[in-house]
Chain A
Amino acid sequence: MEQVEAFEVLEPGFLTTVQDLGRYGFSRFGVPPSGALDTFSFRVGNLLVGNQEEEASLETTIMGLKLKVLREVVIAITGGDLFPTLNGESLEMWKTHLLVEGDVVTFKRIRSGCRAYLALNGGFIVPKIMESRSTYLSGKFGGFQGRPLKRGDILYTNDHPPSLKKLGLRFPNDSIPSFEKDIMLRVVPGPQDYHFTEKGSQTFSSSAYRVTPQCDRMGVRLEGPKIERRPDVEESIISEGLISGAIQVPGDGKPIIILTELVTGGYTKIATIISTDLTKVAQLKPGDRVRFEPISIEKAHFLFKEQEERLKEFKDFLQQR
């Protein structure tokens, strides 16, 4: 596969990394999945630009990423609205755009959400490490040299990208997720819900929690009413595996939402956020507020299927064109 220069990084912004859908099958070596946090937006981005949905894209956080275009490319921006512009003019999200050499794309500031995805027809070419192109920040490997992008980095793409029949494709408006500052997250109780008192469970499902500045790709620390633990159980448990969306409650009784860069942990987990709502979690930023609503696993699976069907409809629609 030939690779060619696609972008020069003029400013890396707050945090920009190369991600795909994650590194699976290596947990037994202590390697967490990493990968895009908002996988829904990520996948839609790739589909819009004609890629396989797992192709590597950029995940940019909060604001400030500025890219110079080095050749004709087709892109789509999805995820949180970080006010993307093209040569200073507002650039519509969830839609494909043709850019030409010399164009400049800038993410000016947060209008909603926290993380945006820039998908590129042909994808971003970085070496696959353990079968994935995702950046694992604390492990310092994967993605672009195992680190966030820096000023002056040159990003490469495939010389022969998948052919695109038509430009200006849009993701249907009514399917675009909205990212509010006050959200409800649905959870499946467990695995250690029985470590908490009835009052504690009540507190958890009836209180609003605020996102603290301690939020990154490993997890989101929340501030709010303390969740009461049964007096006969210990604060920590024997370390066990973790999954994105697991809600840990350490000794101080304040919940922490686990994200994609952790593999094991020794704190009790009162509940786990359903897969469908992880897209909203990925878009949380300090100051936002969350509430938790326990639902059954059957309902969670139903919602998951519903979301996947929506994506499949979009895929079918793209193929018919």
Chain B
Amino acid sequence: MGLYPKVVYLLMGDRGLLLEFGDGISLEVNEKVRRMTLALHAEAIEGIVEMVPTYRSLLIIYNPLIITIEDLKKRLEWIEEGLGQTSFPEPKLTRIPVVYGGTYGPDLDYVAKFCQITPKEVVRSHCSKPYHIYMIGFMPGYPYMGELPEGLITPRLKTPRLSVPTGSVAIAQRQTGIYPMESPGGWQIIGRTPVKLFDPEKEPPALLQMGDMVQFYPIGEKEFERWNK
């Protein structure tokens, strides 16, 4: 799994152009998505209305009345060729406090049992390394992060919950994430953070961005309650 030798262009209708950079989830492919997105932001091509960077692809929404698809592709190819010569900001590391277990993390015990370790070891393992943010999606501010240590890999819930509380820290397969607002969800909830991940009134509205890093650390219930006071 890795980078394609050449970017694959796929059509998503008459206003969407999907740039696929690789055949799987990898840091190398995701870094290229990030760089291309940053380069395009700097370039500010007239006619591009939106960009959606994800694991291994970048969706560009354009206005065909302002830029033809042929011209758009030419510009994109030119920018892609120049990526090697451009410098990009280093990923930012954000430390996120988490209360693990209990009512804050109702699935902690299940995860421990599934992984055949103690809940304490689950916490230690989850906090053992910084995670790379592959993308923000599904809902505002939701970070898809990985890779979890081998020993923590746990499948999704068989039946998704109808409501997961704001701030819930969850894992599924090789990934970990945080619910920025209450929503339905199928990941295993192991804890909760008091940190606000998304605020529509703020600039930028999301605390975390794709390509950045997150390091979790455990806090107690009291600290959680004091956090936003």
A264/B13 contact (C-beta < 8 A), A141-B200, A238-B56 known: no
Inter-chain contact A129/B201, CB cutoff 8 Å: yes
Q: Known interface pairs A272-B12, A300-B13. Does A139 touch B181 (Cβ–Cβ under 8 Å)?
A: yes
CB contacts (< 8 Å) of B139 on chain A: these are 30, 138-139
Pick from A25, A29, A142, A189: contact of B136, CB below 8 A: A29
Are A28 and B53 in contact, CB atoms less than 8 angstroms apart?
Answer: yes
CA distance A297 to B200 in the complex (A): 36
- B105 close to A (CB within 8 Å): no
For B, the interface residue count at a CB cutoff of 8 angstroms equals: 45
B153 interface contact, C-beta 8 A: no
* Interface: B64 (CB within 8 A): yes
Which residues of A264-311 have CB atoms within 8 Å of chain B's CB atoms? 264, 269, 272-275, 297, 300-301, 304-305, 308
Please state if B205 and A130 are interface contacts (CB–CB under 8 Å): yes
User: At the interface, yes or no: B39 with Cβ under 8 Å from chain A?
Assistant: no
Would you call B54 and A29 a contact (CB within 8 A)? no
Residue A316 lies at the interface, judged by CB distance under 8 Å to chain B = no
- Selecting from A7-15, A155-163, A201-209, A239-247, the interface stretch reads A239-247
Q: A102 contacts the other chain (Cβ, under 8 Å)?
A: no
Contact with B along A10-32 (1 / 0, CB 8 A): 00000000000000111111110
Q: Which A residues form the contact surface with B (CB < 8 A)? A: 24-31, 33, 129-130, 138-142, 187-192, 238-243, 245-246, 263-264, 269, 272-275, 297, 300-301, 304-305, 308
Can you sample 20 A-B contacts with CB below 8 Å? Answer: A24-B61, A28-B209, A29-B140, A29-B206, A139-B181, A188-B14, A189-B11, A190-B12, A191-B10, A191-B12, A238-B24, A239-B55, A240-B18, A242-B59, A243-B13, A243-B15, A243-B16, A246-B12, A272-B12, A304-B65
Interface positions of B (Cβ within 8 A of A): 10-16, 18, 24-25, 37, 49-59, 61, 64-65, 69, 135-142, 144, 181, 183, 198, 200-201, 204-206, 209-210
